Amino acid sequence: MVQKREAYAPWSLTRKAGVQSATVNGDIEVPQFIQPTLDTGFVDEKGDWKGLKSSETQFHSFGKDEAVANGASILAPQIVSGTIWPLDMTGYSSLQIAIKPTNGGNVAITAVMGPNDLSYANLTPINPASTLKGNTSTEGGGTAIYALIDDAAESLTADVWNLFIINQNRLADQKLLQFKITNNSGGESDIETAFMRLV
Burial (0-12, 13-18, 19+ Cβ within 10 Å), 154:
middle
Segment 148-189, tens digit of pLDDT: 999 999 999 999 999 999 987 889 989 999 999 999 999 999
How far are the Cα atoms of 94, 121, 194 from residue 115, in angstroms, in the given order?
21, 13, 18
pLDDT surpassing 60 at residue 142: yes
Q: How many CB atoms lie within 10 A of CB 107?
A: 24
Segment 70-116, tens digit of pLDDT: 999 999 998 665 555 789 998 899 999 999 999 999 999 999 999 88
DSSP-derived pairing of the beta strands 150-156 and 26-33: unpaired
**Model pLDDT, residue 125:** 92
Taking the domains of the chain in order of start, what are their residue ranges?
Answer: 2-33, 53-198
Q: How far apart are CA 197 and CA 199, in angstroms?
A: 7
**Model pLDDT, residue 165:** 95
Q: Which tops the pLDDT comparison, 142 or 134?
A: 134
Class of domain 53-198: mainly beta
Segment 115-127, tens digit of pLDDT: 888 888 899 999 9
